[in-house]
Structure 1
């Protein structure tokens, strides 16, 4: 693979890198010369998806603090540091009204999507502060800004990711550490397997471009946010909504 300049001395962690937007980000970072560690709850799937690429794959459940700490240690032992975190791990969960929503599903979605963001971000802060450099990009969702009906847990968890990102960005603004998030509209990824066709059709109907987001389009913005070129923006929300976002 030919290398594009920009990340040749950077070590990046991508959670949920076995599929979807996370996998696209891994490939984009590799193409730009980064050393990449993929943290995924299904490491075998990550290895299969990245067959032939030189990456570290670490089994990691982002909803479990001990697992995240172990993944952090494994990456630091392999590469010496972590410069970049792209937190892409997440689940959509079932589609149902709040009244009918399964309580266990609610807890699982919030634990993975929101608490997982907290755990992964928390795990890399000390090293980034020590080196006075870091780039964190959390994957939220347009659902976190607008709220999708029949997706209360997903919408709430992604709204939490936005608020968390703004908080951490302000905490670290005095150093060369940028913490931002993106709010993608729906992309046709394996997350669709967790959704009803009615819900998928609803999401498409809300996108003025009248198509779903391509994962490579998302990766292009995420990789810029993870680069040294992004030296000013922090605690910010970047839309990938195809015109859907209204604020």
Structure 2
């Protein structure tokens, strides 16, 4: 475990899956972490409240976004990195999905991280070479089946959001990177054939890449990183 330093990261959806792996990776390497989650009972053994705290965050409840940012600044003194990891999946096609499904997917996957970035922006500007990390997906770069098309639409929008944030932070040296994993061995990959499961990208793999990006200097601006458990012809 590295010696704690002053860097503070906010990680949405940090109670489980990829988000939890990112939180644990950052904690092991000295970061202080503000975890946003619907499950505020989540705990991180071996780390006290000076290193990690869990706050109520629900992407479908706007007030929790502002409250989480305010609580992070109050308890940790600032924000050096913002990791947009929270998201939901859909197996509906763009032709068949009802408006309610479309609205919910865009609300959680796109509009909430957009609003969170706005709330955190003044604090990111005040930090030394701040970072924003957006969990997009390979689904945002290609569509493989009708049942993946609505989810892909939301992730394509997320990818564009990441590039928009990147340009907004160009002069102030707030860097933004989109991570674009394919299938990762979490509960969101339920249904993947058994023979493939052991070959999938692990949450810890994504977490290592995430930390590397967050710790890069502003002179190394990385726009996006595609990640797959197999070699894909598109990449």
Query: How does the TM-score come out when normalised to structure 1?
Result: 0.85
- The change in CA–CA distance for 1:111 and 1:10 in structure 2 (over 3 A counts) is same
182 and 226 in structure 1: CA distance in 2 versus 1, 3 angstrom threshold: same
Q: Of 101, 107, 118, which residue of structure 2 is paired with 1:111?
A: 107
RMSD of aligned residue pairs (Cα, Å): 2.1
Which residue of the partner structure matches residue 223 of structure 1?
211
Indicate if the aligned counterparts of 1:63 and 1:119 stay in contact, CA closer than 8 A: no
Alignment CA distance shift 1:211-1:34 (3 Å): same
Distance 1:216 1:9 in 2: 23
Residue of structure 2 in register with 1:88 after alignment: 85
Tell me the matched-pair count: 228
Aligned residue number for residue 43 of structure 1: 40
In the alignment, which of 50, 53, 57 is matched to residue 47 of structure 2? 53
Q: Structure 1's 102 and 212: CA in aligned 2 closer, same or farther, altered over 3 A?
A: farther
Partner of 1:29 in structure 2?
26
SS at match of 2:119: helix
Q: Select the residue among 13, 23, 42 that pairs with 2:10.
A: 13
Q: Which residue of 2 aligns with 1:145?
A: 141
Structure 2 unaligned residues grouped into runs of 5+: none
Shift of 1:180: 0.7
Cα distance in 1 for partners of 2:67, 2:228 equals 35
Q: Is the aligned partner of 1:62 residue 2:59?
A: yes
- Contact conserved, 2:9 with 2:80, CA < 8 A, in 1? yes
- 2:174 aligns with 177
Q: Which residue of 2 aligns with 1:241?
A: 228
1:206-221, aligned counterparts within 5 Å?
Answer: 211-221=199-209
Q: 1:222 to 1:122 in 2, by over 3 A?
A: same
Residue-by-residue CA offset, 1:51-101 (whole Å, 9 max, x unaligned)? 4433100011124332100000001000110101111101112x2333332
Displacement of 1:32 in angstroms is: 0.5
Q: Partners in 1 of 2:233 and 2:74 — Cα distance?
A: 41
- The answer to whether the 8 A contact 1:132-1:175 is kept is no
Q: Quick check: 2:173–2:218 contact (8 Å CA) kept in 1?
A: no
Give 4+ residue runs of structure 1 displaced > 6 Å after superposition: none
Contact 1:110 1:154 in 2 (8 A): no
Which range moves more in the overlay, 177-186 or 114-123?
Answer: 114-123
Quote how far apart the aligned CAs of 1:130 are: 2.6
> Retained in 1: the 8 A contact 2:140–2:159?
yes
Q: Counterpart of 1:126 in 2: which secondary structure?
A: helix
2:92–2:150 CA contact under 8 A, matched in 1: no
Aligned counterparts of 2:92 and 2:137: Cα–Cα separation in 1: 18
